[in-house]
Amino acid sequence: MEKRPQVGVIGSAIYAPRRPEQSYLEESLHAVVQLALRDAGMTIEDIDGIVVAGNDQLDGRAISIMMASGSVGGVGRDILSTPSSAEHAFVLGALRVRSGMYKTQLVVAWNPLETADVNETQRLSNDPYYHRALPLDDLASHALQANVLEAQVPGLREAALNTTVKNRRHGARAYPHLSPTPMERVSITNSKMLRWPLTEGMVSRPDFGAVAMVLASEEWIAEKNSQNTAWIHGMGWATETAFLGDRDLGQVTSLQAAAKQAYAEAGITEARQAFEVAEVADATAYQELIALEGLGLCERDQWVTATARGDFSEGGVLPTNLSGGATSYNPIFCSGLMRIAEAANQARGRAGSHQLANVSRAVAHGASGFAMQYNTVVVFGRESKEMTQ
């Protein structure tokens, strides 16, 4: 078999400003890129290519890459853009290095709040005949999914509340300037109902943020003696059909397919024993639970008892979303890349206040689109792993 170039994450940065209303997008992108390059011990001159992910509707402007190119260092340099999701930008950057044509890649995604109404923007992006008339936005689709799951799993609301409390607690530690105090269970339960069964305390408002990651080939890492690497052991990605009426919202088959692909590449046969930590999509607590099932980490008949035991809390059998996840901080469009960056940081030993000791392997999951339409899974390891094709 032919040996495939290994790819490692050697730098990352998450830009979560205290005063987002005072942050200009172009300056923020420049700042997060410089922080990621500094983390990697590099300059922009060491970067062979750049992949950015931006959403014109949320940006409130056309062709976002034209605005971003100067800020991220893309002028006169190989640069690509993907509008589908931030996690897809990571996959594209990793594949470019794996191709052997590039030694380094910079991946950048952002979520501005320059559009007047995020929910209205999401509704207008739908087809004009069915979904737009509902009216359908992210929150409405998440609520539809939550209702289906509550009907299928007895006692699920209890598990969802336990998960929300856990993530709020993790978020208060990881990003105290964004989530200064954990929310108590009663305040989450009694907060304003947004879309049944989701209360205001169960979700996080859309927020401003940016993420940048630096990827490099095994050859480049060895040549530069780069330290603190999170090696990509496996990746997988898949997509659900776009029309919600064609889907069973209680199942996410594309996540199962993505996990199967990533695990096969990483040589994982028993997911429950493979990881010390996980970062998964959690626009709602219901999403986190179904993500754990799709990743083979917890069957749904165990959701209620596992969350009650604290299995996914700090100190549990599989700490999940030690960053607090999107439950605590939700820069919508780049939330998936943030989950990937957080998992990579755990493997690199660079997660700061929420670092788990002795992480040898971590799994990241990003989801985007209505009711988790797009799903991406990335397996990271602290040690390199020979890849063949």
How many angstroms separate the CA atoms of 324 and 330, rounded?
10
pLDDT digits (tens, 9 = 90+) for 345-358: 999 999 999 999 99
Would strands 277-279 and 361-368 be described as parallel, antiparallel, or unpaired? parallel
- Where is pLDDT greater, at 121 or 283? 283
pLDDT of residue 327: 95
pLDDT of residue 56: 85
Our CA angle for 380, 180, 158, nearest 5°, is 70
How many angstroms separate the CA atoms of 83 and 66, rounded?
13
Whether pTM exceeds 0.75: yes
Q: Provide DSSP, 49-107.
A: EEEEE--HHHHTSS-HHHHHHHHHT-TTSEEEEESS-HHHHHHHHHHHHHTTS-SEEEE
Q: What is the mean pLDDT of residues 103-130?
A: 88
pLDDT of residue 59: 83
pLDDT of residue 389: 52
How many angstroms separate the CA atoms of 22 and 43, rounded?
27
pLDDT of residue 62: 80
pLDDT of residue 124: 85
Q: Which amino acid is at 147?
A: N
pLDDT of residue 125: 82
Helical H segments across 175-311, by residue range: 185-190, 218-224, 253-266, 285-294, 303-309
pLDDT band at 372 (very low <50, low <70, confident <90, very high): very high
Q: What is the mean pLDDT of the chain?
A: 93
pLDDT of residue 225: 87
Q: Is the pLDDT of residue 387 over 70?
A: no
pLDDT of residue 215: 98
In the chain the domains, ranked by start, together with CATH numbers, are 3-117+205-388 (3.40.47.10)
pLDDT of residue 388: 52
pLDDT digits (tens, 9 = 90+) for 136-180: 999 999 999 999 999 999 999 999 999 999 999 999 999 998 877
pLDDT of residue 2: 59
Q: What residues contact residue 174 under an 8 Å CB cut-off, 6+ apart? A: 322, 323, 324, 328, 352, 353, 354
